[in-house]
């Protein structure tokens, strides 16, 4: 075995190219840092490529709370002729729907145009750490092993791999709670929106509707179903505990699930994304367990697609058109940071002077079988994520962004979605660029947060002026 290790030097190294990672890399490079982006898969974008809407970017009042990189992505998708819509789910949230095939191009274009050096199909194998500092990350790919050295590193791996390897204290679900189940998003084309919306209008009792006061606004279920019809897009959430799904689950025609979420991805292809599948694992970090989960998830995809074709108007002539490029993982490890976002912060919509990102998604804990906890942010508003949540304790030159950030479990269940991850990634990227300007012993804890906030707002981030 060839153990030779070459070396390359950068200003910032970002590990993980999901929504947090691409935002971090784009933002660091835009701020003048020589940036490397390491991704274990063959494409850039992570969950952005699944067809799932961008949640946590628009609060229930309709105010956008995540900007900057997100706006650039959506503008590029539009320029490329892709479907992009800001929509109301008429349940708890508003979101951005888009075409994931066009998003694949948009993400890559923005990353490369910014001059980021990209390492695809590359695994972070080892962290070189001493005296509270990461000196380098050894990565492996088909070209061999390379030490990536930099003054600052950003862990956007989702599972906190770099933080864990560097000895950062981590937390996981406690008190015997299972992590949130893993899923496989899939898409169906040839869906007739008209008949689907007529079905919605006639059957409000089968739907998830008006679960927050900000969305309900005093309307009856029938009035909300009418609003979905008027919106004219296939934004439909079928409840697992209502007769249509419950009876199918009881018959064994459908697996136990809390919802079937239907969201548009392309008007041209008459395509929607389906979020419904779920497999609970004791530890999603165990790759053998993930391998077994994939078998069951594929069975569930087939089952759900067949159920929709048979039982939901508008899907009669629809066909399976796409699968997410990987299993969707909602929850594994979280770092212990200088600050911790709390459940109370999220529920109350707390604002802070040291906020560097916002979140607005409801507390959203998927459970085994048909269970799901959904708790809205107060008054349909948003909350601030403080800078300290991106700063792991004990390491001077390491930042974190995305679903492994520092938070209590309920708070994590809100901020883990793509809107929050994009905002956190942007904040981490700009903070890293500010840190490397310290001539001696760069330390992410010494970043001037007021200056960071100003730089972020200059780059289009939304940090104030919303409920």
Q: What is the pLDDT of residues 323-351, one digit of tens each?
A: 999 999 999 999 999 999 999 999 999 99
Decide: 152 and 14 in contact? Cβ < 8 Å: no
Chain position carrying tokens 């600050």: 339
d(CA 153, CA 124): 12
Higher pLDDT, 174 or 78: 78
Chain position carrying tokens 């709370």: 65
The DSSP result for 49-106, as a single string, is GSS--EEEEE-TTS-B---THHHHHHHHHHHTT--EEEEE-SSS-EEEEE-HHHHHHH
Judged against a pLDDT cut of 80, whether residue 52 lies above it is answered with yes
**360-390, pLDDT tens digit by residue?**
999 999 999 999 999 999 999 999 999 999 9
SS3 content of the chain, % helix, strand, coil (to 5): 35, 25, 40
pLDDT value at residue 310: 98
pLDDT value at residue 439: 65
d(CA 277, CA 295): 12
Averaged pLDDT score across all residues of the chain:
97
User: For residue 421, which of 161, 156, 182, 163 has the smallest C-alpha distance?
Assistant: 156
Q: Locate 131 and state its tokens.
A: 């005296």
Mean pLDDT of 135-144: 97
State the virtual CA torsion across 430, 435, 437, 443 in degrees, nearest 10. Answer: 180
Judged against a pLDDT cut of 80, whether residue 3 lies above it is answered with no
pLDDT value at residue 4: 87
pLDDT value at residue 467: 97
Name the pLDDT band for 14 (thresholds 50, 70, 90). Answer: very high
Could you tell me the pTM of the whole model? Answer: 0.98
Where b means 16+ CB within 10 Å and e means fewer, 415-449 reads bbbbbbbbbbbbbbbbbbbbbbeeeeebbbeebeb
User: For residue 255, which of 301, 291, 289 has the smallest C-alpha distance?
Assistant: 301
Judged against a pLDDT cut of 90, whether residue 167 lies above it is answered with yes
Judged against a pLDDT cut of 60, whether residue 283 lies above it is answered with yes
Q: Locate 72 and state its tokens.
A: 């650039």
Higher pLDDT, 172 or 225: 225
Judged against a pLDDT cut of 50, whether residue 1 lies above it is answered with no
**442-462, pLDDT tens digit by residue?**
999 999 999 999 999 999 999
Mean pLDDT of 271-290: 97
Name the pLDDT band for 174 (thresholds 50, 70, 90). Answer: confident
d(CA 172, CA 206): 35
Domains and CATH numbers, the chain: 5-176+331-458 (3.50.50.60), 186-323 (no CATH)
d(CA 350, CA 183): 31
Name the pLDDT band for 440 (thresholds 50, 70, 90). Answer: confident
**383-437, pLDDT tens digit by residue?**
999 999 999 999 999 999 999 999 999 999 999 999 999 999 999 999 999 999 8
pLDDT value at residue 250: 97
Chain position carrying tokens 């594994």: 332
Q: Where are the alpha helices (DSSP H) in 252-325?
A: 287-311
Residue 157 has what DSSP assignment? S
- Helix or strand holding residue 8 (H, E): strand 5-9
- The residues with which 6 forms a beta bridge, in sequence order, are 146
């Amino acid at each position: 075995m060839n153990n030779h290790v070459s070396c390359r030097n950068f200003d910032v190294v970002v590990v993980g190219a999901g929504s947090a990672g691409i935002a971090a890399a784009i933002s660091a490079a835009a701020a003048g840092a020589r940036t490397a982006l390491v991704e274990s898969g063959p494409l850039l974008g992570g969950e952005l490529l699944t067809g799932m809407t961008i949640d946590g970017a628009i609060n229930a009042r309709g105010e956008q709370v995540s900007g900057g990189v997100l706006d650039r992505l959506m503008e590029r998708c539009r320029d490329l002729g892709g479907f992009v819509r800001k929509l109301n789910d008429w349940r708890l949230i508003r979101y951005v729907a888009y075409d994931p095939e066009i998003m694949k191009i948009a993400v890559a274009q923005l990353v490369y145009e910014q001059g980021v050096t990209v390492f695809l199909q590359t695994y972070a194998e080892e962290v070189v750490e001493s005296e509270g500092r990461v000196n380098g990350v050894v990565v492996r790919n088909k070209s061999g092993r390379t030490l990536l050295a930099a003054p600052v590193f950003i862990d956007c791996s989702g599972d906190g791999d770099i933080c864990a390897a560097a000895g950062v204290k981590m937390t996981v679900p406690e008190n015997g709670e299972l992590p949130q189940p893993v899923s496989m998003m899939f898409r169906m084309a040839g869906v007739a929106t008209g008949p689907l919306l007529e079905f919605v209008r006639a059957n409000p009792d089968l739907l998830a509707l008006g679960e927050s006061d900000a969305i309900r606004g005093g309307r009856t279920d029938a009035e909300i179903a009418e609003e979905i019809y008027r919106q004219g897009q296939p934004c439909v959430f079928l409840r697992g505990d209502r007769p249509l799904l419950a009876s199918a689950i009881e018959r064994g025609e459908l697996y136990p699930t809390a919802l079937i979420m239907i969201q548009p991805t392309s008007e041209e292809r008459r395509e929607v994304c389906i979020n419904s599948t779920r497999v609970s694992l004791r530890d999603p970090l165990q790759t053998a367990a993930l391998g077994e989960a994939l078998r069951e998830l594929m069975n569930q995809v087939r089952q759900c697609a067949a159920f929709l074709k048979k039982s939901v108007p508008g899907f009669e002539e629809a066909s399976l058109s796409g699968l997410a490029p990987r299993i969707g993982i909602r929850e594994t490890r979280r770092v212990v940071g200088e600050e911790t976002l709390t459940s109370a912060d999220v529920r109350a919509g707390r604002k802070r002077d040291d906020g560097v990102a916002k979140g607005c998604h409801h507390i959203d804990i998927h459970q085994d079988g048909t269970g799901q906890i959904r708790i809205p942010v107060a008054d349909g508003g948003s909350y601030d994520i403080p800078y300290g949540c991106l700063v792991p304790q004990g390491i001077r030159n390491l930042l974190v962004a995305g679903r492994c950030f520092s938070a209590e479990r309920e708070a994590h269940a809100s901020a883990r979605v793509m809107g929050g991850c994009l905002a956190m990634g942007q904040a981490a990227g700009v903070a890293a660029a500010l840190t490397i300007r310290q001539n001696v012993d760069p330390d992410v804890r010494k970043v001037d947060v007021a200056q960071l906030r100003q730089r972020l707002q200059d780059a289009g981030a939304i940090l104030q002026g919303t409920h």
